[in-house]
């Protein structure tokens, strides 16, 4: 398995912030990238094998766009390049908006997908659903030379090109992201990638994570109802934060509140911590030479429980990563082991407990 993480260090929001603050766009993007990496380290989240940044893959993006044009599914207009949604969808080998076909006519989502700095003369596009693969440069924006003139990549094309450069073709086994990216971002990624590769299955599985809500409302800077990882780590440990998410299904909405969300997580974390601490002390203090190693009924029962719970955890994780069930199955094994440890020390089988 190879895990690749794309970093969008070049888009309309970053450019707009750089212009307003009179800074270089890379200064803005590297600052937040560093903040993100630091937060992940504090949460004990490991690095992926590969990190790709848009600004470092512009040549590959240009090549990818050229391939889509060559295959007949994109066109140049006034220095920009657009994906031809109508032509693509009419092709018997392709389907547009596989993830959210009901959102195809949603003008608000379409506009959001094009970016806050993009004000396109509709005469440039054959259809309002067509989306930008390459944007003609405007004054004050970063730009690169291309066959269509100076410009910069569109939002959607970056992911397809960077994935293609590292993972070498298709299909990709798993592509993840927030549920809000289903349309147009991921649907456009699918379309342009399948147009480039002339295939009908660029990704085997899309995993869309649910949103985090704070006291019933979607977390948002505009609503000022967000809490930073640094702030939450000032109140809880990274293990407790991880338990919060493990006790919640990954693809459903999570309603976060400090008084309701954390008590169960803290309880579970304490249960496991105390269990491992007591077992470590027990296995350190009891010498095998002083104990009977003949298995009795209770030993067979604990051994059977271990195998049963192993299978239960495996089945839970195979069922769309059902971590709440997996954690509860592990907690059951902790309880059964604690019961086993209530017997006289001379009868405890240290190899079995380990």
CATH code for the domain in which residue 163 is found: 3.40.50.620
Distance CA(12)–CA(137), nearest Å, equals 12
Peptide bond into 320 cis (omega under 30): no
Residue environment code for 258-268, b if the CB has 16+ CB neighbours within 10 A, otherwise e? eeebbeebbeb
Q: Say yes or no: 226 and 201 in one domain.
A: no
Q: Say yes or no: 233 and 344 in one domain.
A: yes
Q: How many domains does the chain have?
A: 2
Taking residue 241's Cβ as centre, other Cβ atoms within 10 Å add up to 21
Residue 2 CA: distances (Å) to CA of 7, 45, 48, 188, 201: 16, 16, 8, 23, 19
Q: Say yes or no: 161 and 242 in one domain.
A: no
Q: What is the pLDDT of residue 120?
A: 63
Distance CA(284)–CA(286), nearest Å, equals 6
> Which residues, 6 or more positions from 91, have their beta carbon under 8 angstroms from its beta carbon?
73
Q: Say yes or no: 167 and 313 in one domain.
A: no
Distance of CA 146 to the CA centre of its chain: 31
Question: Is residue 186 a contact partner of residue 177, using CB atoms and an 8 Å limit?
Answer: yes
Query: Could you tell me the residue range of the domain that residue 55 belongs to?
Result: 4-209
Q: Say yes or no: 150 and 253 in one domain.
A: no
Q: Say yes or no: 157 and 231 in one domain.
A: no
Q: Say yes or no: 30 and 54 in one domain.
A: yes
Q: Say yes or no: 144 and 108 in one domain.
A: yes
Q: Say yes or no: 143 and 179 in one domain.
A: yes
Residue count (the chain): 354
Listing DSSP states for 11-25 in one string gives: SHHHHHHHHHHT--H
Distance CA(192)–CA(164), nearest Å, equals 12
pLDDT by 10s per residue, the chain, length 354? 899 999 999 999 999 999 999 999 999 999 999 999 999 999 999 999 999 999 999 999 999 999 999 999 999 999 999 999 999 999 999 999 999 999 999 888 888 878 777 666 667 899 999 999 999 999 989 999 999 999 999 999 999 999 999 999 899 999 999 999 999 999 999 999 999 999 999 999 999 999 888 877 777 766 777 888 999 999 999 999 999 999 999 999 988 877 778 999 999 999 999 999 999 999 899 989 899 999 999 999 999 999 999 999 999 999 999 999 999 999 999 999 999 999 999 999 999 999
Q: What is the pLDDT of residue 121?
A: 65
Residue 297 maps to which CATH number? 1.10.730.10
Q: Say yes or no: 293 and 161 in one domain.
A: no
Q: Say yes or no: 205 and 226 in one domain.
A: no
């Amino acid at each position: 398995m190879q895990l690749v993480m794309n970093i969008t260090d070049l888009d309309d929001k970053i450019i707009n912030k750089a212009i307003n603050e009179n800074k270089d766009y890379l200064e803005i993007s590297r600052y937040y990238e560093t903040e993100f990496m630091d937060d992940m380290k504090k949460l004990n989240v490991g690095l992926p094998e590969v990190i790709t940044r848009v600004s470092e893959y512009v040549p590959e993006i240009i090549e990818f766009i050229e391939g889509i044009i060559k295959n007949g599914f994109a066109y140049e207009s006034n220095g920009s390049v657009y994906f031809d949604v109508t032509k693509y969808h009419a092709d018997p080998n392709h389907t547009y908006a596989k993830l959210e076909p009901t959102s195809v006519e949603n003008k608000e989502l379409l506009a959001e997908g094009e970016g806050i700095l993009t004000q396109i003369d509709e005469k440039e596009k054959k259809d309002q659903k067509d989306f930008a693969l390459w944007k003609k440069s405007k004054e004050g924006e970063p730009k690169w030379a291309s066959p269509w003139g100076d410009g910069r990549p569109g939002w959607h094309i970056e992911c397809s090109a960077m994935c293609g450069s590292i993972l070498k073709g298709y299909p990709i086994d798993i592509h993840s992201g927030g549920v809000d990216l289903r349309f147009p971002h991921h649907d456009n990624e699918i379309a342009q990638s399948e147009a480039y590769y002339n295939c009908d299955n660029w990704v085997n599985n899309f995993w869309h994570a649910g949103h985090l809500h704070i006291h019933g409302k979607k977390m948002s800077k505009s609503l000022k109802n967000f809490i930073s990882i640094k702030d939450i780590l000032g109140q809880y440990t990274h293990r407790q934060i991880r338990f919060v998410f493990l006790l919640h299904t990954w693809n459903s909405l999570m309603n976060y509140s400090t008084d309701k969300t954390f008590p169960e997580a803290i309880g579970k974390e304490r249960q496991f911590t105390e269990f491992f601490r007591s077992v470590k002390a027990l296995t350190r203090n009891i010498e095998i030479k002083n104990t009977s190693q003949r298995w009795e009924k209770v030993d067979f029962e604990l051994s059977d429980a271990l195998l049963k719970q192993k299978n239960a955890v495996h089945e839970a994780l195979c069922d769309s990563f059902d971590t709440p069930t997996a954690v509860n199955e592990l907690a059951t094994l902790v309880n059964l082991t604690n019961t086993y440890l209530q017997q006289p020390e001379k009868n405890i089988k240290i190899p079995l407990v380990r």
